[in-house]
Amino acid sequence: MYKDKKVLVFGMARSGIAAAKLLLERGAKVYICDSKAEADFGGALDELRTGGATFCLGEKEPERLVEGMDALVVSPGIPVENPAVVRAKALGVEVMGEVEYAYRESTGLLVAITGTNGKTTTTTLLGEIFKNAGKRTFVVGNIGTPYSGAAGETRPGDVTVCEISSFMMETSSKFHPAVCAVLNISEDHLNRHGTMEKYIALKERIFENCTEDDWLVLNWDDPVTRDMAGRAHCRVGWFSSRNEVPFGAFVKDGMIVYGTARDYKSICPAAEVYIPGEHNLKNALAATAMAMAAGVPAPVIRHTLKTFKGVEHRIEFVRELDGVRFIDDTKGTNVESTIQAVRAMDRPTVLILGGYDKHTDFTPLCEEILKCPIARIVLIGDTAKQFEQTLEKVGYHAWTHAGYDFKKAIDMAFEQANPGGNVLLSPCCASFDMFHNAEERGEIFKEIVNALEGKGA
């Protein structure tokens, strides 16, 4: 497809590196560009140099490199307003995201999941369902493993389960899953997209190429996603934890079922879904609807729902020390996801809150905190002052500041927690003010927590 073509890959995070490697394997003439110098990457780019890529690193004006290229592949972190993207479009150079490029190089069944919350859990769960069904399965995308890293290995009969972000859909055009889902919509990423209307439109792009042979699964309980059905050109299935649906996965008399209220197949008792909480029941229902649409036998789905133990960094128990349980929810990067985390707390909890500013209104979370057993809050990062002001506005005063010192924040939280309580990291914000990504934030949290000594030591 791109053999002997000149392709500029812009943004050398994990997805950019994976795309460049795949392009080299396909015989393209690859140029890689990033504002960081080569030394900043350690040895992460060595394979690209050995493979023959041309390095354009430390470049502060990447738009200068676009002329003469056949295509520009951008990482999700590069917005479409970037001068290099604007210049490429003006010159008629094809612009595509890493996920779009990977899709073009892959084969087999593609299922894709987007939404504001629950994407990682649902993607991982669905991947386990397909694996348990005996399918060779790749779980990729926004979940942390770049699609490009797997696309070259896919064969007919394989399944790719892809977590999709709104950033990825900014630069898609031909992306076409056979089964896809939009789990829910709440305010997020307005610092990038500007308006909720644009954010919602980008989420809808996941199904814009779907046809009457494909399936779109939507959340019946979310009015925004329910409204999307009228703009779909494919079959629509639903999921709901609260209502019977026209067709899809729902709970009837305590049982997860698939079909209609009168004609359905029983999957398993809702109480036997291993991962706890109503939000995880919704994730299980979404995965059930997608798997059934893809033809997975009900017994396989039943077994997986009863045995799947959840994902790392999402309300993950780390350790107990002096009677205090430490919980890693670094994946709580927006208001709705952190609301789900605080609702899941059944003990007095010290909450570590704050991070990179995505221009979000924190009022709904702060109001929810008043209803939950949040004993104290430790504020960190760029949004600490905003959280302070919002907490004060709703009448919550038990907060302290730890600045940008993550170790100090954890020490303060432990000191303020009592035996029988929790320390919960659920920042409600992205991590870029203090860390490279949310996963790094969670790993460092666990490292610090596992090194803590008891208060009487």
Each residue's pLDDT tens digit, 171-211: 999 999 999 999 999 866 667 767 889 999 999 999 999 99
Predicted local distance difference test score (pLDDT) of residue 312: 86
Predicted local distance difference test score (pLDDT) of residue 1: 81
pLDDT band of residue 336 (cuts 50, 70, 90) is confident
Predicted local distance difference test score (pLDDT) of residue 392: 97
DSSP annotation string for 307-321: H----TTSSEEEEEE
Residue 97 has pLDDT above 80, yes or no: yes
CA distance 301 to 288: 7
Spell out the SS3 assignment of 189-250.
Answer: CHHHHCCHHHHHHHHHHHHCCCCCCCEEEEECCCHHHHHHHHHCCCEEEEEECCCCCCCEEE
**Is the Cα dihedral 281, 168, 38, 6 positive or negative?**
positive
Cα atoms in the Cβ-side hemisphere of radius 13 Å centred on 95 = 26
User: Would you give the DSSP letter of residue 330?
Assistant: T
Q: What angle do CA 174, 175, 181 make, to 5 degrees?
A: 145
The one-letter amino acid code at 247 reads F
| Pairing outcome for strands 316-321 and 264-269 | unpaired
Predicted local distance difference test score (pLDDT) of residue 457: 59
Contact 18, 41 (CB under 8 A): no
Residue of 62, 172, 45, 192 lying closest to 114 (CA atoms) = 172
* pTM of the predicted protein model: 0.83
411 Cβ neighbours under 8 A, 6+ residues apart: 452
Helix or strand run (H / E) with residue 422: strand 422-425
At 257, is the secondary structure helix, strand, or coil? strand
Each residue's pLDDT tens digit, 131-155: 999 999 999 998 879 999 999 999 9
DSSP annotation string for 260-298: -SSSEEEEEEGGG-SS-SHHHHHHHHHHHHHHHHTT--H
Q: Tell me the two tokens of residue 310.
A: 């959840």
Phi and psi, residue 352, nearest 5°:
-95, 120
CA distance 261 to 280: 22
Domains defined along the chain, listed by start: 6-96 (3.40.50.720), 106-307 (3.40.1190.10), 316-451 (3.90.190.20)
Each residue's pLDDT tens digit, 234-274: 999 999 999 999 999 999 999 999 999 999 999 999 999 99
CA distance 452 to 445: 11
Cα atoms in the Cβ-side hemisphere of radius 13 Å centred on 432 = 5
Which of the pair, 277 or 65, is modelled with greater confidence? 65
CA 127 to chain centre: 14
Residue of 25, 126, 446, 378 lying closest to 138 (CA atoms) = 126
CA distance 258 to 255: 10
